[in-house]
Structure 1
Amino acid sequence: MATQTNGVGDLLRDWRARRRLSQLDLAGEADVSTRHLSFVESGRAAPSRDLLLRLAEPLALPLRERNRLLLAAGFAPLHPERSIDEPDMAAAKEVIGAVLRGHGPFPALAVDRHWNLVAANDAAGALLAGVDPALLAPPTNVLRASLHPDGLAPRIVNLAEWRHHLLARLRDDAERSGDPILFALHQELRALPAPASERPHGPTARIAVPLVIRDPASDMPLSFLSTTTVFGTAVDVTLAELTLECFYPANEETRRALQR
C-alpha cells in the first residue's frame, strides 16, 4: 500500500522500509553515522542537501522522488520536469518518433509513468481497432484499454496469462515508485472480470510471456514478444519516466501477416 508522508524524516523511513533496509544498512551505504541518520529520520537533525543525495542513491529513488525529498527538506529540486512537447525536449521527441517509426510494421508505443499513451506507430494504432472510444479518450491508459472487457481483452487469446503478467508488472512499478495512482490503477484492473487460468500458448511461452491477439481484420491469432526501452541517462523527470514498448513477432506467421 502507498504511505502518506510529508516530512523528510517520514519520507526516508518510508523509502527505507520499501527497500527493506535497516538504518545501519542505509547509513553504511551513504557513509553517514547511524546516529545521525536516526536524528534526521526523527526530525532532531536537519540533513544537508549532499546527505539527501547520498541517501537517495542506495534507496534507488526515482528522479521525481529525489526532488520530493529535497523539497521536503527546504531545498530546490535538482531534476527539471518538462512537457515532451516543449522545445528543450525536441531531440528526445525525435528519438522517440524514430524508434516507433523504425519498428514498423511491428507495433510500438511510448507510455508515461502512469501507462498513459504518449505516442504510437501505425501498427500499434491498428491493433486498437474496435476498442470502445471511451477507453481511447485522452489520456489513453494502455493497461485499462488492454484488460477492460470493452477494450482489447475479448481479442486476447491468452488473456489469463497476459493479465497476470501486466498486473505483476504494474504492482512492481507501484512498489518501486511508491506512486498512489499506480496502486489505485492496480486495484481497479484487478477488479475487472478475469478468465480462468490457462496454459501459456506456443513455443515462446517457455522463454517469455507472449501476447497472442486476434487480428481485427483477418481474425487470425498474432503472437508477439515485447521489449521495454528507457532513456538510461535521463536527468529530466518526464524523460526518465518514459517507457517505449516494442512488440516483435513471435512466429513466422505473425511476421508475414504484419509485413503484408
Structure 2
Amino acid sequence: MSSSTIEQSGVGAELSRWRRARRLSQLELATLAGTTQRHLSFIESGRSQPGRAVVIRLAESLGLTLRERNDLLAVAGFAPMFTESDLDESALRPVRVALEQILHGHMPYPALVIAPYGRVVAANDAVEVFTEDASPELLAPPVNMLRLMLHPDGMGRRVLNLDEWGRHVIENLRARARRSPDPRLDDFVAELAGYVPQTPVGPGHLGFSVPMRLASADGELRLITTLTSFATATDITLAELHLEAFLPADQASADLLRIRAERRRAG
C-alpha cells in the first residue's frame, strides 16, 4: 500500500470520527463546508485526497479547536495553520498586559486566567480566599484550580454545597470531553468526580445557575462565576486560555470581599 493511500485513509477516518462525534450526516457536513456529499464520501472512504482548503473548511464546519485543526491538517499531510506561542514571548506581551489589567480591574473580586486542565496562569490578589487553609501540596506551582476547588484538602471542605456545585463543574468538563475527546481529560474528570459526593438531584436543583457557597474565616461567601475566552484568537496558546471571574451573588458577599481587600491593603 502506498503512503498516499495510508494518508487518505487516515484523514478520511479522522473526518468520519469527528463527524459522528458532532452527530452530523455526510450531507449536513458537506453543506456546511460548501462541498458535495459525494466528495465527502470519497474522502472518508480514502478514494479521494482532500486539498488543504477543503480540510480547513471541513475543520471549521466541525467546530474543531485550533489544535485539533492543526492535527487534522497534519494527518492530511499539510503543514499546521496555527502557531503555538509561549505566553512569555514578546509577541504576546500586549495580551499579558491586557490580562493583568482585567485581573486588577476585577478587584476586590477573585479572577484567574486558566490554561487547559485547570492550570492557573495568572490571578489577582483576591483569590487568597480560595487558598485559605489549603494543603501546601495543592498550592505548589503550577496550581491546578479545578483540583483545588474540589479536593477535600483544598476548597472542597469549605464549599458548603459541594455536591451540587461540584456536579456543575464536572458536567461542564464532561461536556467539553464529549465535544473534544481526550483520554487525559477523561482521567482528570474521573479524579475530580471522586471528590464530589454522589447525591440524587432533588426538585430544588438549580443546574448551571447554582452559586458556590464558600465558608471563609470572615463568614460565608456566595459566588457566581463567568467565563471569558479569546474567541477570535489565531494562536493556540491564547485560544486555550480562559478568564474565570467570580462575582458576589449577594450584598453580604460583596461587602465581605471588600473588607478582605481593605485588610490586605492595610497589611
Give TM-score scaled by structure 2 length: 0.88
Match of 1:176 in 2: 179
Deviation at 1:209, TM superposition (A): 1.1
Name the SS of the counterpart of 2:81 in structure 1: coil
Query: Gaps (5+ residues) in structure 2?
Result: 1-8, 260-267
Return the alpha-carbon distance in structure 1 between the equivalents of residues 203 and 82 of structure 2. Answer: 42
Cα separation, partners in 2 of 1:138 and 1:48, compared to 1, 3 Å: same
Which stretch of the first structure deviates more once superposed, 120-129 or 73-82? 120-129
Match of 2:124 in 1: 121
Report the aligned-residue RMSD.
Answer: 2.0
Identical counterparts, % of pairs: 45
Query: Gaps (5+ residues) in structure 1?
Result: 1-5
Deviation at 1:197, TM superposition (A): 5.0
Deviations 1:165-214 (A, max 9, x none): 0011111111222232212111111223516457799xxx6982101101
Return the alpha-carbon distance in structure 1 between the equivalents of residues 88 and 249 of structure 2. Answer: 34
Deviations 1:200-255 (A, max 9, x none): 99xxx69821011011x22x110111111111211101101111000011111111
Match of 1:88 in 2: 91
Q: Which amino acid aligns with 1:35?
A: R
Name the SS of the counterpart of 2:157 in structure 1: helix
Match of 2:257 in 1: 258
Deviation at 1:27, TM superposition (A): 1.2
* Matched residue count: 250
Q: Which amino acid aligns with 2:23?
A: R
> Is 2:215–2:221's contact at 8 Å kept on the other side of the alignment?
yes
Q: Which amino acid aligns with 1:86?
A: E
Return the alpha-carbon distance in structure 2 between the equivalents of residues 82 and 206 of structure 1. Answer: 36
Counterparts of 1:58-137 in structure 2, within 5 Å, are 58-137=61-140
Return the alpha-carbon distance in structure 2 between the equivalents of residues 157 and 42 of structure 1. Answer: 53
For the pair shown, the structure with the greater C-alpha radius of gyration is: 2
Cα separation, partners in 2 of 1:223 and 1:182, compared to 1, 3 Å: same
Match of 1:3 in 2: none
Q: Which amino acid aligns with 2:248?
A: P
Higher helix share: 2
Cα separation, partners in 2 of 1:82 and 1:200, compared to 1, 3 Å: farther
Name the SS of the counterpart of 1:10 in structure 2: helix
Match of 2:228 in 1: 229
> Is 2:110–2:126's contact at 8 Å kept on the other side of the alignment?
yes
> Is 2:67–2:236's contact at 8 Å kept on the other side of the alignment?
yes
Which residue, 162, 167, 170 being the options, matches 2:170?
A: 167
Match of 2:25 in 1: 22
> Is 1:158–1:200's contact at 8 Å kept on the other side of the alignment?
no
Match of 1:245 in 2: 244
> Is 2:167–2:196's contact at 8 Å kept on the other side of the alignment?
no
> Is 1:160–1:198's contact at 8 Å kept on the other side of the alignment?
no
Return the alpha-carbon distance in structure 2 between the equivalents of residues 206 and 131 of structure 1. Answer: 27
> Is 1:214–1:222's contact at 8 Å kept on the other side of the alignment?
yes
Return the alpha-carbon distance in structure 2 between the equivalents of residues 198 and 25 of structure 1. Answer: 36
Deviations 1:10-34 (A, max 9, x none): 2111110111001111112112222
Return the alpha-carbon distance in structure 1 between the equivalents of residues 87 and 71 of structure 2. Answer: 21
Give TM-score scaled by structure 1 length: 0.90
Return the alpha-carbon distance in structure 1 between the equivalents of residues 112 and 200 of structure 2. Answer: 28
Which stretch of the first structure deviates more once superposed, 180-189 or 114-123? 180-189
Return the alpha-carbon distance in structure 2 between the equivalents of residues 197 and 160 of structure 1. Answer: 9
Return the alpha-carbon distance in structure 2 between the equivalents of residues 58 and 250 of structure 1. Answer: 38
Q: Which amino acid aligns with 1:126?
A: V
Q: Which amino acid aligns with 2:226?
A: T
> Is 1:110–1:120's contact at 8 Å kept on the other side of the alignment?
yes
Return the alpha-carbon distance in structure 2 between the equivalents of residues 92 and 76 of structure 1. Answer: 26
Q: Kindly indicate whether structure 1 or structure 2 has the higher relative contact order, using CA contacts under 8 Å at least 6 residues apart.
A: 1
